[in-house]
Amino acid sequence: MKKRIFSLFLFIGILFLTTGYKNFSATPEEVYRVYLQGKSLGLIEDKESFENYIDKKQEEIKKKYNVDKVYVPTDLDIEKEITYEADLKTNKEIYDQVKDKSPFTIDGYIIKIRGLDTKDSNDKVIKGKVQTVYVLDRTVFEHSVEKTVKSFIKEEDYENYANDTQKEIVDTGKIIEDIYIQNKITIKKTKIPVNKKIYQTEEELSKYLLFGTTEAQATYVIKDGDTIADVAFNNRISIEEFLIANPDLHDENSLLSPGQVVTLGILKPQFNVVEEDYVVLREEKNYTTETRYDNNQLVGYQEVVQAGIKGENRVTQKVQKVNGETINTVGMNTEILKEPVTEIIVKGGKQSSYYGGGYGSVVATRGQWGWPASCSTVSSPFGWRWGVLHDGTDIAGCGYGSNIFAAQSGTVVESGSKYDNGQYITIDHHNGYYTMYAHLCVGCRYVSVGDYVEKGQVIGGMGRTGAATGVHLHFAMWQGFPYRGGRALNAMSFY
């Protein structure tokens, strides 16, 4: 009997030593253990009372974001636990361990915008980056997206498309067939950490979606004689970018006043707005040039015996624009309204006794250059695009493999392939000027280095090789050798 009593006291003593002076209960208790970033902070009596304690302590957050409730951090977990050992901590003790280590959260939405995949020079796929945006109100994002879309599409055109009130095409015109965002966008309701950038207004979010930043854009004070085209080019932005950044100016012919302050923001859209159009237009058809030689006249003699006259076609096209820029034009039908008249030039073929050889040259002046393609739709002009100079004029709509013509006589100095230009040809016109013809189709370089070509001679075929998103010709004019000390010029100023 004494041994049994001794054993009982011994058991109680061991139990006392192992539990110390902590609150010990003969029956199990239901409590909650708090973890922050996987590390235990201790036990609390009630989960709901702790969450309410945090909510009451964060009045400043509620006021800043105009919300009714503040929640625990995303990396804080509260798990139910059954224990005999109820060494509880107060809500304040746990709160003090959390408040400076991890941000509290509020109700909102997380939006992920997936960037488009691209390829490097080795044809390796580069995954597009994912942009993350946080808003409290889903409609703020939806309205900001619509506002951004309208930056690239005329509001009247957008409203007519949305309301199905577009006018039918009688002779010429445009019908928008589709408008969509090319990127994948996901929206999910979530708890947002308050240390994240949270967009609360459409104005602020629209600015970010358009420019990639909410920082103030550069400005410029208009001087006497300034035009929109001059201000845009001199500040390395396109006319389209200028008009988007200054929505009160409706087109490039809008009047500017000395002292007027304009915005010079460089666009960096966070998603691609695609517009697909059905277009019917009247298009000039350029005439070809026929050169004849008169051996009774000395070399250097030149006479136009029949003036060239442009023709006219009615052209039906499918046009795709991305963020307001035409990237692909596909010709569907061409109706000939007036045939062009061929220009006939007679040149002297007789050598004089003092003639030292070489090639004749034509001064680079307006009207002396032939059009380089069989169609005349300019899909993208010479100028600055998003901080980068587009050093040529893109001509589209002629169709894959359509003829490309030498703009003037000269010698072929390049006929090859590069990653960006694709299949291309460069001609030296022996007057300080060079022309380049890029994105030709595979197998469509019809002249070689050293060949002498005449104005209007077919030298290649239109394609989409290199860094081209659609079938077109990148036609560039340079004063000096292209990319070797030369200066890119706006070729359209010579037509």
Mean of pLDDT values over 254-281: 93
Q: Looking at per-residue confidence, does 25 or 323 come out higher?
A: 323
Question: Is 71 among the domain residues?
Answer: yes
User: 198 and 316, same structural domain?
Assistant: no
User: 115 and 88, same structural domain?
Assistant: no
User: 430 and 284, same structural domain?
Assistant: yes
Has residue 353 got a pLDDT over 70? Answer: no
CA distance 54 to 76: 12
Residue 392: how many CB atoms within 10 A of its CB?
A: 26
**Residue-wise pLDDT tens digits, 423-473:** 999 999 999 999 999 999 999 999 999 999 999 899 999 999 998 888 999
- The predicted structure's pLDDT at residue 367: 60
Place of tokens 């253990």: 33
CATH number at residue 237: 3.10.350.10
Q: Please, which residues have CB within 8 angstroms of residue 308's CB and are 6 or more apart in sequence?
A: 287, 288, 289, 340, 341, 342, 343
- The predicted structure's pLDDT at residue 193: 97
Point out the domain boundary residue: 264, 291, 321. Answer: 264
- The predicted structure's pLDDT at residue 120: 63
CA nearest to 474, candidates 414, 395, 401: 395
Counting Cβ atoms within 10 Å, is residue 191 exposed (0-12), middle (13-18) or buried (19+)?
middle
Backbone angles phi, psi at 28, to 5 degrees: -65, 145
Question: Is 197 among the domain residues?
Answer: yes
Output the average pLDDT for the chain: 87
CA distance 212 to 143: 17
Q: What percent of the chain has pLDDT over 70?
A: 89
- The predicted structure's pLDDT at residue 294: 84
Point out the domain boundary residue: 50, 67, 102. Answer: 102
- The predicted structure's pLDDT at residue 22: 47
Has residue 293 got a pLDDT over 90? Answer: no
Residue range(s) defining the domain that contains residue 193: 106-167+180-217
- The predicted structure's pLDDT at residue 364: 52
Q: What percent of the chain has pLDDT over 90?
A: 63
CATH number at residue 424: 2.70.70.10
User: 257 and 229, same structural domain?
Assistant: yes
Question: Is 431 among the domain residues?
Answer: yes
Helix (H, G, I), strand (E, B) or coil at 159: helix
Helix (H, G, I), strand (E, B) or coil at 322: strand
Distance (Å) of CA 55 to CA 12, 80, 109, 147, 387: 44, 21, 20, 35, 47
Give me the number of domains the chain comprises. Answer: 4
Give 175's strand partners: 278
Q: Looking at per-residue confidence, does 364 or 447 come out higher?
A: 447
User: 97 and 111, same structural domain?
Assistant: no
Triad 210, 212, 213: Cα angle to 5°: 110
User: 128 and 45, same structural domain?
Assistant: no
Which DSSP string do the residues of 226-252 spell out, in sequence order?
--HHHHHHHTT--HHHHHHH-TT--ST
User: 465 and 402, same structural domain?
Assistant: yes
Contact status, residue 84 vs residue 31, Cβ threshold 8 Å: no
**Residue-wise pLDDT tens digits, 163-181:** 999 999 999 999 999 999 9
User: 402 and 281, same structural domain?
Assistant: yes
Among the ranges given (82-91, 229-238, 345-354), the one the predictor scored with the smallest mean pLDDT: 345-354
CA nearest to 406, candidates 366, 369, 443: 369
Among the ranges given (1-10, 72-81, 182-191), the one the predictor scored with the smallest mean pLDDT: 1-10
- The predicted structure's pLDDT at residue 135: 98
- The predicted structure's pLDDT at residue 18: 39
One-letter amino acid at 467 equals A
User: 291 and 155, same structural domain?
Assistant: no
- The predicted structure's pLDDT at residue 155: 87
- The predicted structure's pLDDT at residue 355: 40
Take residue 66 and report the two structure tokens written for it: 């105009």
Q: Please, which residues have CB within 8 angstroms of residue 59's CB and are 6 or more apart in sequence?
A: none
Q: How many angstroms from the chain centroid is the CA of residue 406?
A: 32
- The predicted structure's pLDDT at residue 20: 39
